[in-house]
Structure 1
Amino acid sequence: MLGRALPVASEAVSTGACTHCGAALAAGQDRFCCNGCAGAHALVAGLGLASFYGRRETEAGALRPEEAPPVLDLAPFAAAPKDDLQRLDLMVAGLTCGACVWLVEQALAAERDVLSARASLTARRLTITWRGAAARANDLGALLARLGFRVAPWSPACLRATEDAEGRALTRALGIAAFGSMNVMLVSVAVWVGGDMGPALRHGLHWLAALIGLPVVLVAGMPFYRSAWAALRAGRPSMDLAISLGVLATAGMSLSETLRNGPYTWFDGATMLLALLLAGRVFDRAARRRARQSVAELLALQEGLVNRLLPDGRLEAVPAEAVAAGDRVLVAAGDRLRLDGEAAVDALLDAAATTGESVPRRYAAGEPLPAGAVNMGAAFTMTVSASAKDGSLAAMARLLERAEQAKGRFVAIADRASRFYVPIVHAVAAATFLAWWGVLDAPWQVALVNAVCVLLITCPCALALAVPAVQVVAVGGLFRRGVLVTSATALERLAGADHVVLDKTGTLTEGRPVLLPEGQDPATLRRAAGMARASRHPLAQALARACPEAPLAAGVREVPGQGLEAGAARLGSSAFCGLGTSADGMTLVFRDGEGAPVAFRFADRLRADAAASVAALGELGLPAELLSGDGEGAVAAVARQAGIAQWRAAADPLAKQARIAALMKAGRHPLMVGDGINDAAALAAAHVSASPAGATDLAQTASDLVLQREGLSALPAVIRIARQAQSIARQNIGFSLVYNVVAVPVAVLGLVTPVIAALVMASSSLVVVLNALRAAKD
C-alpha cells in the first residue's frame, strides 16, 4: 500500500537520527533516542507495519512518545450507536502525512474487537468503532500514545486552533521573506546601476546584502527545509527538496561571490524566491480552506448552548455536545436547532443552512426536525432524537470529508505522474550543470545558476493541484446548493451519464400521499395503521397519519418492495397479500390471515418542478424513464404529467436492478434516482445514483449524491457542474503538462534568472487554483 520500505536500521546509522521519531541521536545512543521510541518501533514492527518508516513525512521528533502521557478517561466520550457497539471520535496530534494515517488505521485494525478505524488527515479526526465496553477506549488511546500520537476527544474548536497555528507560522515566514527581499533588493539595485563604484564599496554592499539575506533564507525557508528533510530521511525526495536545494545553492553561491568580491550576488533572488513560494503556499492554503469550508460550516451549526428541560421543569443551559438522545430541549423563537429531534406541535423552520431552501417550511407534529434549522415560529419543546456526534450534521460532515479526500480516477493519475517529476527534475538539473560547465566551458557560477533555474521552474505543484483543487471546490459548491456528494468518483461518473431512471413515489411525486376516505372500518384502520407505523414507506406513513392514535404493532417485519407482516397479518401490495396483480392507483391491502382483504387507496401529487426537471434533463442528453412498483394506472398518470414517454409499473427491487443491468449491458450510463428501500439495489448497481430529500437511510447510503432540497430542480444543475468540473480538471492537467514541456528547455538554455523562474513556477500553480475555483459555478 505504501510501497517499498527502506531498511530502517541502516537509515538510523547513516543519518544519526532516531529510527522511530527521526530526532537527532546523542552520543552513545544507538538507533533510538529514548526507551519510548524503542518500544514504539517494536510495536510497529510487531504489527507488520514497518513500511511506515519508508514513507513518513513527519517533522523530526514529532512522534516521540511521551514518558508520562496525561491521564485522560476517554470512556465517557464513547457513544453506543447499537447494542454492544461503541464509537469514539478523537483529535490526533502528529497526524501529518498519509503514512501516519495508514499507520494509525492499520494499528487499530489489528485489534480483534475493532471493527473500523478511519482517520481524516484534513480534520485530524479519527473515528474508531469496536465491539465491547466503553472502557476499551482508554486502551485504544494508550496504543496510539505508544506510537507517539497524542489524542484528545475531538471537537471543531481543536481543529480550528491547529489550523490557525499552522496558518500563522506560514504567514510569519512570508512576512520575514517579503521584508528581507525588499531590503536586499534595494542593496542589489545599487550594485546593478553603480557601474563605476569601487571594489571596496561593492564589497561592502555585498556583505550588507548577505547580512540581511542569509538570516532570511535560514528562517523563512524552514517550512520547505523541514519537509525536504523528512522526505529525504524517508528515501522519497519531494519537490520541497528541489526548492530547498535551489534556495540554499543560490545563497551559498552568493556567499562565495561575496567572499571573493565578485561582480554580482544573488541574495535578492534567493529571498525573492522564498517570498514568492510562500505567497503561493498561503494562497493555496486559503483556497483549500475555502473549498473545505462546508465541513466547518456544518460543524459550527451544532456548536453553542441549548436549554435542556430538567424533570422538575427547570431550564439548564448546557453545550449541545452534552445533550443525549431522549432529552427534551426548549427551542425559543429565532433559536437554531443544534440537534435533531421531534416536537409534539407544528414548527415553522428555515433549513436553508443545510438544504439550501430559501423559503421556511412547516413541519408537522411528530415529523423529524433537522439540526441546523432556525425556528421561525413560536417557541416549542423538542425531544432530541440523536446526540451531536450521531446526528445528521455530523453524518453530513463525515460524508463531505470522505468525498473531498478520497481519490478519483483523475486524482490517481495526477498523483502517479507527479511522483515521477522529482527524480527527473534532479537529473535534468544535474545534466544542465555538467553541460554548461563541462561542455560549453562556462564558469561554474553560470552553470550553477542555470541548474538552479531548472530546479525552480520545473514544479509538479500545478499538476498535483490540478484535480484535487477542482474536486474540493466542486464538492463544496454543490453542498452550498443543497447537494451532498458522498462518493469520490461521483462527479466523474455523473459527467458521463446519458440516461436517467426515476422512481415515482417520493421522487417525482411529493411522497406525502393522503388516504382517501372510503368508509374504512375504524377497527381495521387502527390495526393496519399500527403495522404501518413500523415502516418509512410513504404509503405506510400516510396510513399511520390517518390514524395517529394507533399503537405500534408488535413483531412487525418489513419485506422490501412488498410490504409488512406481523404474525398472520399482512399489509402491502395485492400480490403480497395473496390477491394477484396490484389494483390501479396507489393502494395498500390489509389482510389478517384468511380474512377478507381491505384496500386502502391514496392520492399523491406530482412535485411542482418534476416536469421542468425532466425536460431539463432531456436537454442535457439524458432521456428519462419511469420505473415504479405502483399500479399501472398511477404510474401512467404520473408519466403523462411529467412528460415521460417510457415507463414501467409493478417493478419490484429485482426488476429495477435488472433494468439497470440491461441498460449498462447495452452501453448506456444510467443515472438512477430513487428514495425507498426497494430502490437501494438499483441505486447501488447504477453507473451513478442520487436520492432526493426525505429518502430512507438505506437509499441515501447506496447513493452517490443526496439532494437536500425538496424536488429535483437541483439535478440538472448538478450534472452541468459535474461536466464543467471534469472539463476544468482536463484543462488543468493539460496546462500543467504544456507548462513543464515549455519551461524546462527555457531554463536549460539559460534564458531565465532564479527570480523569474520562481515567479513563473508560482504563477503556474496560481493559474491552476484560480481555474479550479470556476468548478462551483453553474
Structure 2
Amino acid sequence: MSCCAPGAEAALEISPAGGVAGPREELLLVSRDLGGGLFQTDLSVPEIHCASCMATVERALSALSGVEYARANLSMKRTVVKWRPGADKAPDLIGALRAAGYESHFFTTDTDPRSPEYSRLIKALAVAGFCAMNIMLLSVSVWSGAEGGTRQAFHWISAALALPAIVYSGRIFFSSAWAALRKGRTNMDVPISIGVLMAFGLSLYDTIHGGPHAYFDAATSLLFFLLIGRTLDHVMREKARSAVAGLASLAPRGAIVVDADGRRYVPIAEIRPGTSVLIAAGDRVPVDGIVMEGASELDCSVVTGESAPRPAIAGTLVQAGLLNLTGPLTIRAAAEAKDSFLAEMIRMMEAAEGGRARYRRLADRASALYSPVVHTIALLSFLGWLSITRDWHASVSIAIAVLIITCPCALGLAVPIVQVVAARRLFERGVMVRDGSALERLAEVDTVLFDKTGTLTLGRPHLVNSASVDPGALALAAKIASGSRHPMSVAILAAASAGSVGEAPMNNLVEYPGRGLEARMGTSIFRLGRPEWALGRKMPDGADGWLSVSLLVQDGQQLARLVFEDIMRGGARSTIERLRQQGLGVGILSGDRRSAVAGLASNLGIDGFTAEMLPSDKVERIAALTAAHSKVLMVGDGLNDAPALAAAHVSMAPATAADVGRNAADFVFLKESLASVADAYEISRHAGKLIRQNFALAVGYNAIAVPFAVCGYITPPVAAVAMSLSSLLVVANALRLGHAPSGNLPARQAASVHPDLQPIGAGS
C-alpha cells in the first residue's frame, strides 16, 4: 500500500487479509498502537515553515473528534497525532489539514538526500542578492547628488532590476501569505509581503511621477536578508534532519523470513512479532528480537556508542540496526519495525525540537500575536502621521518601515534554533532527547540521583559461580530467566548451555519489579530473585561486597544460589566529580543490598545513598525531595526505575534500559560511559543561557527599533537592514553552542546533600 500520496485518506486499499480497507482501516494500518485504544499517526506537512504554521496545524488537528494530542516538528516537517477511533470512523486528519490550507501525507523516513526546498531558497537568494547589489550601487549615485534625468534613469533601471526579485524571490513569501489569507488567517509572511509590495508600489509611483526618492533598494534588500535567514534556518534544520536520516538508513528495506513455506524475502513492514527471521553475516538486524539459533558477534555501536563487538548466542536480545558481523543468526521478532528500538531512536531525535518548554511557549504566543499587533501599529502610525502632516507619502513610508522593522523572525528563531543546535550537539555526544522541554528542565536541576545496577554499573553482570551450580538447577533458572530482560536474567541465559532452555514456556510467568520472577510448573511454584523475596523471610546481610546474590527456590526450598559480579560503568568517577563541580548534590537510590550499594558509593565518594528500595520507595524519596523544593535528575534503567524516572523533574536512561524505562526517560544516552550525563547537563545549561540571550536580543531590538520607526527616524532601507541583522545575530548566537568546551560553565553554589539521602540501614 502506498502511504505517501496526498489524499490517500479517502482511498480504498487492499488490507493484508485480502479484504477492502476503508479510510478507517487504512489509518489504523499506518498507525502505531500505543495501547489502551490510543493510536499514533505520523503525518508529513511539507508547507509548514514558522511557529504560526505549527500552531495552525496543531489547532486544526486538535479540533477533530477523537484527537487527544497533536504536535508539529518544524525540522522534519512532521506532525505527530495521537487519537482514539470512534465506533464507525476515524478522524479525517489529512482532510482537516487540507481545510486549513496545508497538503499532507503519511510520514515516511525515506527522504530525498537533496531537499528541493534548499535549491528553491538558493535560487531565490541568488536572484535577490544580484538585484539588491546592483540597485544599491545605483542608489549610492542617487544619494551622492544625481539630479534630473540621471536620477530618473537610475530609478527606472532600479525598477527593472527590482521586478524579477519581487516576482521570483518574493514568491516564497507571497505564496505563503496568500495561502494563509485565503483561509482567513495570517502568518509571519503576511506583513512581510505587505511591506515589500507597498515599498515597491510606492517606489514605482514616485518613479512614474518623478519623485526624488525610491525604495527599490529597501524592497530587494529586505527579501535578500530574509532569504539569508530562512536559508540558514533551513540548513540548520537539515543538519538535524540528516542525523535522523542517517539513523533511518540503518534499517534494511526487507529481510529473509523462515516459515512453513521455506525462506522468502519480505518487506520489513510485513514482519510481525513471533516471525522467524534469518540474518546473514554482514546484514543489519531488521527488527527487535531474540536469537533462537546461531552464534555470532554484533556491532552494537548504534546502541552503545562502543565499537567493540559483542557475542550473540541463543537467548541474546538484539535490536534493530545492529550489524551482524561473523555468522548467520535466526531471531524471533519481538516487535514490528515501527515499534523497534531504532524507530524509537529516530522518534527521540525528532522530538527534541517539538517540546513546548516555557520559553518556547512564550515565543509561540508572541509570534501568534505578532500579525495583529504589527498591523495595528503600522495602521496607527499611518493615520497619526497623516493627521499631523497631511502628507500621505511620508505616512505610507513610515508605515512601511514599521511593517518591515517589526518582523518577528528573530523572536521566532530565538528558541527553536538553539534547540536544533543543542539536539545536534547532544546527538554527537551520544545523547538522544525525547522531549525538547527536557533541555530547559535539565538546566534547572540541583540534585542528581543514580540507580546502581545498569546505571552506575554496566548492568551486565556475569554469573561467577556457574561451575558450582547444579546443571539441572541452572537450566531451570535459565528457563525462568528467559521471560525477563533483567541483566541478571541475561547473565543466567549466557551461562547456561544453548540447548538447556528448551522451547516449552513456564506457566504463569510473572515478573515482580525489584523482586524477581515467579513461575508455575505443575503444582510447584518457582521463584528466582532476591533472597528475602524468594524465600519469603529476612536474610542476614552478608559480606558479599560487590557481589549480588539471587536464589532459585521451589515451594520455599532453595535449589541454587547464584552469585553475580558487576563492574562500574566507565567515566563514573569523573562524571560524579564534574556534577559536584557544578554545585549539584549527588546520591544513589538502589534496590540492591546495602553492602553492595555501600561498596560502590564508597568507591565513588558518594555519601548519600539508600539501599534495598522498592520502586514505590524511590518515588516517595523523589516526592520528598520535590516537596523540599529540590529539582531532581533521576538516572536509571530497568522496569523498576520507570516510576522514579516519571516522578523526577527530569530523567535519563541508558540505551540498554528496558523499554518501559526508556519510554519514561526524557533523555537516553547511547554510550557506555556515564560522561553523557554531565555532557547533557552542561549543554542544557549553555543552551538555556543562549535562549535567554536570544530573547533579550529579540525583545531589545523591537523595544528600541519600533519607537524610532514610529517616530519616522528610520527609512524602509534602514529597517530592512536592521531587521535582517537581528535575525542573523540570533542565529550566530545559537551556533556558539557548538564551540563551548565541556566543563567550562561556571559552577553553581555548592549544593549540600539533602538529609533524605544520608546513609541509612538496610530495609529502611
* Shorter-chain TM-score above 0.5: yes
CA drift of 1:724 comes to 0.6
1:31-54 deviations in Å (ceiling 9; x for gaps): xxxxxxxxxxxxxxxxxxxxxxxx
**What is the match of residue 761 of structure 2?**
none
2:61, 2:96 within 8 Å by CA — same for their partners in 1?
Answer: no
Do structure 1's residue 601 and structure 2's residue 554 form an aligned pair? no
2:481, 2:490 within 8 Å by CA — same for their partners in 1?
Answer: yes
1:582, 1:650 within 8 Å by CA — same for their partners in 2?
Answer: no
Higher relative contact order (CA 8 A, sep 6+): 2
The whole-number CA distance in structure 2 between the counterparts of 1:525 and 1:66 is 58
- State the secondary structure of the residue aligned to 2:630: coil
The counterpart of 1:579, out of the listed 527, 530, 537, is 537
Do structure 1's residue 181 and structure 2's residue 139 form an aligned pair? no
The counterpart of 1:648, out of the listed 610, 615, 621, is 610
CA root-mean-square deviation: 3.7
Judging changes above 3 Å, is the alpha-carbon distance between structure 1 residues 261 and 144 closer, same or farther for their aligned structure 2 residues? Answer: closer
**What is the match of residue 12 of structure 1?**
none
Letter in 2 for 1:733: F
1:331, 1:382 within 8 Å by CA — same for their partners in 2?
Answer: no
The whole-number CA distance in structure 2 between the counterparts of 1:659 and 1:379 is 47
Amino-acid identity (%): 39
1:95, 1:124 within 8 Å by CA — same for their partners in 2?
Answer: no
Do structure 1's residue 465 and structure 2's residue 413 form an aligned pair? yes
**What is the match of residue 104 of structure 1?**
61
CA drift of 1:770 comes to 1.9
1:723-767 deviations in Å (ceiling 9; x for gaps): 111111111111112222222233344444322221221111111
Letter in 1 for 2:352: A
CA drift of 1:519 comes to 3.5
CA drift of 1:435 comes to 5.0
**What is the match of residue 482 of structure 1?**
430
Do structure 1's residue 371 and structure 2's residue 320 form an aligned pair? yes
**What is the match of residue 701 of structure 1?**
663
**What is the match of residue 241 of structure 1?**
190
CA drift of 1:590 comes to 2.7
Alignment of 1:520-599 (within 5 A): 520-548=469-497, 549-551=500-502, 552-567=505-520, 568-576=525-533, 577-581=535-539, 583-584=541-542, 585=544, 586-596=548-558, 598-599=560-561
Judging changes above 3 Å, is the alpha-carbon distance between structure 1 residues 140 and 760 closer, same or farther for their aligned structure 2 residues? Answer: closer
CA drift of 1:720 comes to 0.6
- State how many pairs are aligned: 702
Structure 1 gaps of 5+ residues are 1-64
The whole-number CA distance in structure 1 between the counterparts of 2:600 and 2:354 is 40
**What is the match of residue 450 of structure 1?**
398
1:690, 1:707 within 8 Å by CA — same for their partners in 2?
Answer: yes
1:339, 1:386 within 8 Å by CA — same for their partners in 2?
Answer: yes
1:177, 1:275 within 8 Å by CA — same for their partners in 2?
Answer: yes
The whole-number CA distance in structure 1 between the counterparts of 2:393 and 2:104 is 50
Do structure 1's residue 404 and structure 2's residue 347 form an aligned pair? no
1:496, 1:669 within 8 Å by CA — same for their partners in 2?
Answer: yes
- State the secondary structure of the residue aligned to 1:301: coil
Do structure 1's residue 622 and structure 2's residue 584 form an aligned pair? yes
Structure 2 gaps of 5+ residues are 1-5, 16-20, 743-764
**What is the match of residue 252 of structure 1?**
201
Letter in 2 for 1:730: R
CA drift of 1:479 comes to 2.0
Letter in 2 for 1:641: N
1:396-434 deviations in Å (ceiling 9; x for gaps): 222333332121111112222334444443344344445
Do structure 1's residue 170 and structure 2's residue 121 form an aligned pair? yes
Alignment of 1:134-173 (within 5 A): 154-157=107-110, 160=112, 164-173=115-124
1:57-112 deviations in Å (ceiling 9; x for gaps): xxxxxxxx9799665446585478699979675655687433334433543626xx
The counterpart of 1:663, out of the listed 614, 625, 630, is 625
CA drift of 1:294 comes to 2.8
1:582, 1:631 within 8 Å by CA — same for their partners in 2?
Answer: no
The whole-number CA distance in structure 2 between the counterparts of 1:727 and 1:559 is 43
Judging changes above 3 Å, is the alpha-carbon distance between structure 1 residues 487 and 146 closer, same or farther for their aligned structure 2 residues? Answer: closer
1:697-744 deviations in Å (ceiling 9; x for gaps): 111122111111113121111111111111111111111122222222
Alignment of 1:76-115 (within 5 A): 77-78=29-30, 91-92=43-44, 96=48, 97=53, 98-107=55-64, 109=66
Judging changes above 3 Å, is the alpha-carbon distance between structure 1 residues 235 and 80 closer, same or farther for their aligned structure 2 residues? Answer: closer
The whole-number CA distance in structure 2 between the counterparts of 1:691 and 1:170 is 40
- State the secondary structure of the residue aligned to 2:612: coil
The counterpart of 2:226, out of the listed 251, 259, 277, is 277
- State the secondary structure of the residue aligned to 2:146: coil
1:78, 1:86 within 8 Å by CA — same for their partners in 2?
Answer: no
Letter in 1 for 2:418: V
The whole-number CA distance in structure 2 between the counterparts of 1:643 and 1:444 is 76
The counterpart of 2:677, out of the listed 715, 718, 737, is 715
The whole-number CA distance in structure 2 between the counterparts of 1:67 and 1:699 is 36
CA drift of 1:273 comes to 1.8
Do structure 1's residue 426 and structure 2's residue 426 form an aligned pair? no
- State the secondary structure of the residue aligned to 1:107: coil
Letter in 2 for 1:646: G
2:430, 2:671 within 8 Å by CA — same for their partners in 1?
Answer: yes
Judging changes above 3 Å, is the alpha-carbon distance between structure 1 residues 452 and 614 closer, same or farther for their aligned structure 2 residues? Answer: same
CA drift of 1:185 comes to 4.1
Letter in 1 for 2:122: T
The whole-number CA distance in structure 1 between the counterparts of 2:395 and 2:96 is 52
